[in-house]
Structure 1
Amino acid sequence: MKKKHFIVPALALGLIGGAVAVPNTIFADSDAAVTDSATSTAATQDAGTTTTSDHVITPQSLGNSFNFTSGGSATSSGTFEVPKGFGYVKLRIRNYANAPVDFTVEHNDSGKAYVDGQTISKNTETIWRSSDAMRSGRYTIQFRGGSNKVNVEVWGVAGSLPSDAK
């Protein structure tokens, strides 16, 4: 019987300690000033600002990434968006069909073709990168399999720098 009397107070003490510690943790001031002498001014530096003396890595913006499948007939299409300021595009296209597929990439508003009739061999993958900045807006990528059904998957990304499309 003595053991039961010892266990109950020990559990109660543990619960009381938790009841005090948890609120203190939850309501701790996360905006408190840090006074560490190693704190750099780089922590408050704008991401678009570059410097040469403090070795700050400047993150670059990636617009959007997209992924879609297209197929089911001899001609099929899909769309993607290039946001303003993100004109460097990389497309990875996988042809799952047992026949070659041609593709065209066209800007919807201007009608400008960035790719016209490039062929992807059967059961292979190709990577296409824009050589110059593309216009912002919606693009249509059209696939043609001749007399064969198209079955492709497209992955892509639009970035703000040419290196984003590497």
Structure 2
Amino acid sequence: MSYNSPLGKLLLVANDHSLIGLWYEKQMYKEKMMPKEMKETDNHPILKTATYWLDDYFAGEKSDSSNLPLNPEGGSFRKLVWSIISEIPYGKVQTYGEIAKEVAKRLGKETMSAQAVGGAVGHNPLCIIIPCHRVVGSNGSLTGYSGGIDKKIILLEHEGVELSKYIIPQTGTRK
């Protein structure tokens, strides 16, 4: 199902039981993440619920995704990272390093690679709903958004994040 958002077209995909994909039209890795089993009909109740969630989000409501049946496809490490990202509050950010520390804690390890976390973040199959746009570099760089840094900036501004604290990659300066 296609959804016309303020950021361009989004593709929503579900199986019989849950939402399994939400991608920008030209998102990196989209083809690699596309599931084999999916429903794209506009009448699918899960897809309708997801579009209502997106309508609320883009209207400025702090939407809770707990009423959406989500089941992103990925290994246990990626699913753990996506679960932690889902806990980042609306209008807040966390660094890859902070997420890596939380992953290590939950796995009972002393450390975890922020780069490994970055790989999982970059392959998030449910953009916006699993808010990977809220993940920033340890130096405050707005980096690593497979939908494009321009979209990451728009989403963070939409959520009220004060971007003057962060480095914009194209310019190397704070906004």
TM range (shorter): under 0.3
| More relative contact order, 1 or 2 (CA 8 Å, 6+ apart) | 1
> Higher helix fraction: Structure 1 or Structure 2?
2
TM-score (norm: length of structure 2): 0.24
TM-score (norm: length of structure 1): 0.25
Larger radius of gyration: 1
